[in-house]
Structure 1
Amino acid sequence: MRKFTTGNRAKILALSCVALALMAMSGRAASVAAEEKPVRIAVEGAFPPFNYLDSKNNLQGFDVDVARALCDAAELTCEIVIQEWPTMIPNLLANRYDAIISSMSMSAERREKVAFSNKYYDSPSVFIVRKGSDIAGTSADDLKTVRLGVTAETSQENYVKKFYGDVSTTVFRASPDLYKGLADGSVDIILEDKLAVYDWLANTKAGSCCEFKGADIKNTEYFGDGAGIALRPSDQELLAKFNAALEKIQASETYDTINAKYFPFSIR
């Protein structure tokens, strides 16, 4: 059996200390790396004025500004990524990003799949027609002989399937396609988020063709109680950070400044 001399013991002790120090440094480095890993936030990029690409291909919009303000308030390093709307929730659950800040209404169906923050804005849905339209009303009976348009994978599409099942309906891939379909006569009436379509109606030449029809539609089962930040149900710590940051920016002038940039009225 080999015996350890005093010198060997000293060397072994020294090597052990070095090893422990290296392990501690490695652990700290891993911890720092984990802390610095950016929070990935998905937006559609095709839903003005909430999220869209400007002439220089840069992301702009209410959702984008709110996302950046929340990350600043929560002291989070964030990365905003563009994601097509139909696969928003599946890709969140597949860990391709960590949150969705893209005007997602908190419907009962979506709450079964994801966790939502507190509401960061609210908007009803509304029908829109071309000016001079002879459509008398917006009930299912009123629309049984016309062509209705909605955007794919939206609360509006689900609402129409439930309450307007006998109406001829065209499903468009994105909101700009929906608006173009109404303007060029591909459909006669559309159902859309009121705040989203407001920008098109009020601020674009193409949108001057059209106007709201009928009363605002509010249905918590389909449209929820406003738009929220969607996260994986397991990410409760991140959810708490976003809720605290939302409270912080709404208590300061930050939220109202962003609001005023896009709307001449409060959308809280």
Structure 2
Amino acid sequence: MVPSFWNPERRVERPDASRLPSNLRFLTTDDYPPFNFVSSDGTLMGFHVDLARAICAELAISCTIQAVPFDTLLDSLDQNKADAAIAGIAANPASRQRADFTERYLGTPARFVARKGQGLAEATPEQVANKSVAVVAGTAHEAYLRAFFNEAAIRPYPDAQAAREALRTGKVDLLFGDAIGLALWLNGSSSQGCCAFTGGPFTE
């Protein structure tokens, strides 16, 4: 899940804490387990939440972490509602004009999901052509579809739950997204046993 994107021997210059806000405001989402989600008692938790807290502990400053819809993350930064967003935002030319990005620290494979009995022989551009594919808007997964599966009918949805429901209820033929989050959904109760992975993983 976390490849060797970082050299453990590298030493990074510590930022000047005097130039940072006294309270660092982070934004994330709450629909992307195990990275960011709400527990049964209503607590926001996950890998990204823990990472944000670790950053603040290392810098010895306080921080707040708020969950918002994914498609509002960059707008919220533009409107100075937060100082940073920690989520799977696609780092592309358009998003880089709006925000500065850290170096890459995490990578997970992407997968297609289909309703049971309606899977693909192979998840190739030819097999996916003309099929409707749900994806979360503004993510690296949407960018990947538009680059390599541009003959598909790409249907962006505002969040993962909406995209998954579109597949479960038959509004689309396929769903494309993060394999870890999709595996949790497929094996959980909310999928109602509707669907299964189809084709292999995509790592680039």
**Quick one: which amino acid aligns to residue 84 of structure 1?**
P
Alpha carbons of structure 1 residues 139 and 90: separation in structure 2 relative to 1, 3 Å: same
Alpha carbons of structure 1 residues 132 and 34: separation in structure 2 relative to 1, 3 Å: same
- Determine the structure 1 residue equivalent to 2:51: 66
**Quick one: which amino acid aligns to residue 159 of structure 1?**
Y
Describe the SS at the equivalent of 2:156.
strand
1:188 aligns with 2:147: no
More helix by share: 1
1:177 aligns with 2:162: yes
Quote the offset at 1:42 in angstroms: 0.4
- Determine the structure 2 residue equivalent to 1:113: 98
User: Once superposed, what is the RMSD of the aligned Cα atoms?
Assistant: 2.6
Alpha carbons of structure 1 residues 114 and 36: separation in structure 2 relative to 1, 3 Å: closer
Describe the SS at the equivalent of 1:115.
coil
- Determine the structure 2 residue equivalent to 1:81: 66
Whether the aligned pair in 2 keeps the contact of 1:40 and 1:79 (CA below 8 Å) is yes
Describe the SS at the equivalent of 1:95.
coil
Whether the aligned pair in 2 keeps the contact of 1:63 and 1:103 (CA below 8 Å) is no
Higher RCO (CA-CA < 8 Å; seq separation 6+): 1
1:148-172 per-position Cα deviation (integer Å, ceiling 9, x unaligned): 1111121222222333333223222
- Determine the structure 2 residue equivalent to 1:240: none
- Determine the structure 2 residue equivalent to 1:16: none
**Quick one: which amino acid aligns to residue 78 of structure 1?**
C
Output the TM-score relative to the length of structure 1: 0.61
Whether the aligned pair in 1 keeps the contact of 2:71 and 2:159 (CA below 8 Å) is no
- What stretches of structure 2 of length at least 5 have no aligned partner? 1-17
**Quick one: which amino acid aligns to residue 103 of structure 1?**
G
Separation (CA, whole Å) in 1 of partners of 2:132 and 2:46: 30
Describe the SS at the equivalent of 2:56.
helix
Describe the SS at the equivalent of 1:177.
helix
Describe the SS at the equivalent of 1:102.
coil
1:146-157 equivalence runs, <5 A: 146-157=131-142
1:216 aligns with 2:201: yes
1:52 aligns with 2:27: no
Separation (CA, whole Å) in 2 of partners of 1:53 and 1:165: 34
* Larger of the two Rg values belongs to structure: 1
- Determine the structure 2 residue equivalent to 1:158: 143
Whether the aligned pair in 1 keeps the contact of 2:89 and 2:138 (CA below 8 Å) is no
Output the TM-score relative to the length of structure 2: 0.77
1:207-263 per-position Cα deviation (integer Å, ceiling 9, x unaligned): 6432222222233xxxxxxxxxxxxxxxxxxxxxxxxxxxxxxxxxxxxxxxxxxxx
Separation (CA, whole Å) in 2 of partners of 1:200 and 1:74: 35
- Determine the structure 2 residue equivalent to 1:125: 110
Alpha carbons of structure 1 residues 71 and 203: separation in structure 2 relative to 1, 3 Å: farther
**Which shows bigger deviation, 135-144 or 108-117?**
108-117
- What stretches of structure 1 of length at least 5 have no aligned partner? 1-32, 220-268
Q: How many equivalent residue pairs?
A: 187
1:173-232 per-position Cα deviation (integer Å, ceiling 9, x unaligned): 11011112222222121110222222212344526432222222233xxxxxxxxxxxxx
1:144 aligns with 2:126: no
